[in-house]
Structure 1
């Protein structure tokens, strides 16, 4: 039998064997246990004959300054020529709190299925059906996304056995995707280094995140990934006793208006073709009071998430500023109206209220403190930033709390006590990417979705539709970036924590810039007790679809079954 016809024979068992061992590594995101997945990958690759012969083609790439000493793991089959395909997957998983008494089975698919059968009547109808039919594999990380990672690893090993392999294939496995994507941001720099060392021509990056189906008879290829940006709002009020409300400015009043004006506001939602980003939603909201008293709070703070298809950080922040200004104007108008009515029946405390609309970004607030206190402020600010960064690494404070602690610190150096709104950004930032935005897309990449759909229709009687954006947020966001220098300036100006703690390697992203596609198995209920992945997709369809993509892009006929 020829090599052409044996390349994928029996790969189902390989994928299952890898996945069952991979899932056993309880690599909870932003914990030291992510190192378990890293060690598994190094051990797995080191046992493959190709990598024993070429130890320089696999290893780890450390994440600089990482609190858990995590690293990106990679393996490369170096064939003939420069054309290269990159596979990427993340190896961190979310916690298993919702498993309750089933926690000990969360990483063992067969045992978990047996236990779930005992409580199947309490499961959602769709999950119960999939469990009883045995068509889906249950377990934490099986869908999101060690299933896709196991497919990539199994394919890499098969390619490593081939003589005269045309092209190159790299697998990178990254930690921290469920948190700040520290792994992928480091992975980009690894790919830039490999590009220089081996003179590689990156054709495409293929992620294997699970896809969700709108129509159960159709799969989905994603030719890009949604962006994510997280604006923060800090409202500084003016204290007063609740019996003297017109002598103060309650920040909760203004913050409430800003929240009402932004939550699910479709003005923030990009539309590209027939795809639309979901509208924004608030993730955090809090006032500054630490105990009860009869004064209004001095400040209120919060942040919300915006998903983007085309907007830049600068464009988003201009919209945020506009809403803050309009909200401030509206609240002052309403306060003056209330005060005038109050003055008709009570002796007024003044001829009119003193409040004026004052809205600024964090950069302007920082400059105001610098102007007032110069080098003393700058030195104290750097010490505060270093202290907060260490607290975040220790896990004693989260990134949102740290951001607002820094804003509060700057206000200690501000002499003007008048109410104001300060806005900015909290990490992480995910650029929106799509093959739509490449003006010189190679024909074989531009037509890849159509060619793969023709393949799946012929091979499985199943269509795969194309979407331009994977909306689940993914590490594909770092495959390219539009207007990198402008984006970097926007982040530096708007993001207090940008710098040593959080950064975007814009130069490296621009260096490795490549099209991308998500080709992953059908999955359901990510991050839930009933997380599961379709076995037919996992073991049969998806590996063959990805292999077909590799054969088309590397023009390697030996990969065609």
Structure 2
């Protein structure tokens, strides 16, 4: 007996979910292998095995791979729709004693009530309309839908365009998978592939049943501004004879962390304020000398800010923090002398803020290639020690400061990996106009066929959607030259990204609680409605304008 599309879809999803592909581990390849094996059973790829590829992520110490599968239309055309997603998932520690069932959704759903559930999660469980499990929502259902549509449409063989399936690892980590896949997309483009649309099958969070269901046509960007502080060390018994870098780091944190003035607004949507991800001095052992170096880095979302404007704001904040610390230091020195009747000689310092690019160029003037060789050797050493990209970013600035001849208190501004460019729908472009017509038709179809309201939002959260075109092309050089570890620990394909310009939408299943133990997928929408909407979206993509 032939299985229905929904039955095949459920079977494929559960098969992919069963692979425990936790991000940042070699086990991500378990899902890649599973996906490759499923695609290899599709008759089209049995006949055309050269169109199915498993590709190594470049310079990846974990040996992770990504998958591409190209269906080519019987019509001789280069027009291609990209179906994309990621196969890694976040960890399963929140499941507690049920973590052995995290990748077995059917069994987990039967026992999820053993955990402490919110009223909403318990209500969803009792409705019978939700499936619980790690990856069911984010985002192995989306991959399964793409695979089963690829199977169905390749068997029908009546599309007027090509389909390219792409599944990458590491989206929940540093996006190494997508950054590597950019090169493959550019290669295919150079071979004649014309990307006319992208469908990223990431989930949307479901609010109340009455709320419109959202999809997105743009992506929030994300930067990690890194500040490196150089002070003036002193013995603790002479604390006023030095400038403690922790004062600089703390004052900047006071000015920057959760600063609402740094929220961006674009077309009625807002970013959250920046927040500190790490703040530390670099003393490794106890002694009675104040620390010379400190560092901090922040998560900052972007919508449409120009790089030059962002750098100006960061400089201004760093200078303001520096001036406040020096002002307070001077006042304390004076008060101490008055109270203690002792003469001390305060440190003479002026606020000095410099970008990493500027610092590096000054060091290069003095030491040339010798410094590059030294830094490469140190980066190799840090990588072998298991340091993460962000820690190495801090160490790179520290090493550069050590070679900088001007030993003065300063703040150095750079960026820690990863970097997600913001992108927004440029509706004046012809390719975006065509996409928007397709989207408008999908909204009408959802309303008329399913009595369902779909709503367009410009910006989805941070995701691989950032890497299919480059928004701020003018500012990419400024970002790249200050992106610490660029070309050493972090590969950001800026030149290749400039060659891609793929209009797209983020449109996937409805779910709740991604990354939590109560991650779940809404079954009726995923298996009765979404396949119809996506299938028709694909067909309309290749239809001439009416």
The match for 1:541 among 512, 529, 533 is 529
- After superposition, the Cα gap between the structure-2 partners of 1:179 and 1:446, relative to the gap in structure 1 and judged at 3 Å, is same
1:100 — aligned with what? 96
1:478 aligns with 2:467: yes
- Deviating more after overlay: 321-330 vs 489-498: 489-498
- What are the Cα deviations for residues 321-345 of structure 1, in whole angstroms up to 9, with x where unaligned? 1100111011111111222222222
The 1:438–1:390 alpha-carbon spacing in structure 2 relative to 1, beyond 3 Å, is farther
Any conservation in 2 of the 1:221–1:449 contact (CA below 8 Å)?
Answer: no
- Equivalent residue for 1:398, pick from 379, 388, 398: 388
* Separation in structure 2 between the aligned mates of residue 374 and residue 195 of structure 1, nearest angstrom: 38
Report which stretch shifted further, 419-428 or 262-271.
262-271
Residue 9 of structure 1, CA deviation:
9.1
**Secondary structure of the corresponding residue to residue 178 of structure 1:** coil
| Structure 2 residue corresponding to 1:525, chosen from 494, 504, 513 | 513
Q: Is the 8 A contact 1:231 1:303 kept in 2?
A: yes
2:480 to 492, 498, 517: 492
Q: Which residue of the partner structure matches residue 196 of structure 2?
A: 203
Q: Alpha-carbon deviations, 1:292-346, whole Å to 9, x = none?
A: 3443222221100111111244432221111001110111111112222222222
Distance change in 2, residues 1:510/1:372 (3 Å): closer
> 1:449-494: CA deviations, max 9, x gaps?
32211111111111011111102x111101111343x444213321
Match of 1:258 in 2: 252
Matched, 1:468 2:464: no
Provide TM-score, normalisation by structure 2. Answer: 0.94
Q: Report the Cα offset of residue 438 of structure 1.
A: 5.5
1:309 aligned to which of 303, 306, 319: 303
Alignment-derived partner of residue 108 in structure 2? 112
Deviations 1:34-77 (A, max 9, x none): 11111111111111111111112211222221112222201121
Alignment length (residue pairs): 541
Structure 2 distance, partners of 1:216, 1:269, is 30
Q: Following TM superposition, by how much is the alpha carbon of 1:224 offset from its aligned partner in structure 2, in angstroms?
A: 1.1
Distance in 2 (alpha carbons) for counterparts of 1:303 and 1:70:
28
Mapped to 2, the partners of 1:112 and 1:295 lie a distance apart of 55
- 438 and 144 in structure 1: CA distance in 2 versus 1, 3 angstrom threshold: farther
**Aligned counterpart, 1:5:** none
1:197-236 to 2 correspondences below 5 Å: 197=191, 199-217=192-210, 218-236=212-230
For the Cα contact (< 8 Å) 2:84–2:200, is it kept in 1? yes
Q: Which residue of 2 aligns with 1:444?
A: 434
| Gap change, CA 1:314 and 1:48, over 3 Å in 2 | same
Of 262-271 and 82-91, more deviation after overlay is shown by 262-271
Counterpart of 2:446 (choices 440, 445, 456) is 456
1:125 Cα deviation from its structure 2 partner? 1.3
SS at 2:161 equivalent: strand
C-alpha distance in structure 1 between counterparts of 2:433 and 2:284, whole Å: 60
Task: Give TM-score, length-normalised by structure 1.
Answer: 0.92
Match of 1:417, SS state, is coil
Change (3 A) 1:314 1:60: farther
- Structure 2, unmatched stretches of 5+, are none
Residue of 395, 398, 423 corresponding to 1:433: 423
Query: Match of 1:386?
Result: 380
Q: Could you give the per-residue CA deviations for residues 405-426 of structure 1, whole angstroms, max 9, x where no partner exists?
A: 2222223223433211111001
SS of alignment partner, residue 433 of structure 1: coil
Per-residue Cα deviation, 1:5-50 (whole angstroms, up to 9, x for no partner): xxx9922111100011001111111211111111111111111111
> Match of 1:161, SS?
helix
| Shift of residue 213, structure 1, vs aligned partner | 3.3
Residues 1:162 and 2:151 aligned together? no
Deviation digits for residues 266-293 of structure 1, max 9, x if unmatched?
3322211111111111111111233334
- In the aligned structure 1, how far is the partner of 2:104 from the partner of 2:308? 46
User: Where in structure 1 do 4 or more consecutive aligned residues deviate above 6 Å?
Assistant: none
Would the alpha carbon gap of residues 285 and 216 (structure 1) be closer, same or farther in structure 2, given more than 3 Å must change? farther
Shift of 1:390: 4.2
Aligned equivalents of 1:353 and 1:297: distance in 2?
16
Out of 58, 62, 76, the residue aligned to residue 70 of structure 2 is 76
Contact persistence 1:355–1:418 (CA under 8 A): yes
Deviations 1:243-262 (A, max 9, x none): 32210111111111111111
